[in-house]
Amino acid sequence: MSDPLTPEALNTLQLPIVFTPGAWQRAVLLERSGHPEKLQVDRLSNVLRAAFEAHLAHPHEPYVLFEVAHIASTGHPRQNPLLQLNLSLLLEPDQPNALLIALAEEHQR
């Protein structure tokens, strides 16, 4: 088994990370909660950890699907407990490269 922490993989993980508005809204943002800041930081940490693990498992793929727990804004689990996201390398002319986290249904080739 090869080491997933190759120099190339580590360089990719140093890129800035951006979310689509839909991915941010559904994966991280909490509107109605007693302690939204702490919960949002926890959710953001979980999403980033899952994205990095997915990338390290498939470092040469142009995009990687991964899942995180899907909690409603009220803090209660939804009927579908998993939210499917994808991680891809964002390459835009005249812009720095970045990692993009989007909802799976937002992925466009």
Annotated domain spans of the chain: 13-88
Token output for 11 = 């360089």
> Which amino acid appears at position 34 of this protein?
G
Owner of token pair 């809204």: 25
> Which amino acid appears at position 57 of this protein?
A
| Residue partners of 50: CB distance under 8 A and separation at least 6 | 66, 67, 68, 85
Rg (CA), the chain: 15
| Local confidence pLDDT in tens for the 109 residues of the chain | 455 566 666 667 788 999 999 999 888 886 665 657 788 888 899 999 999 889 888 888 888 999 998 766 555 555 668 899 999 988 888 888 889 999 999 865 4
- What is the Cα–Cα distance from 77 to 70, expressed in whole angstroms? 7
What is the pTM for the complete model shown?
0.78
Among 76, 71, 106, smallest CA distance to 88 is for 106
**Within 10 A of 28 (CB to CB), how many other CB atoms are there?**
20
Give the pLDDT score at 35.
59
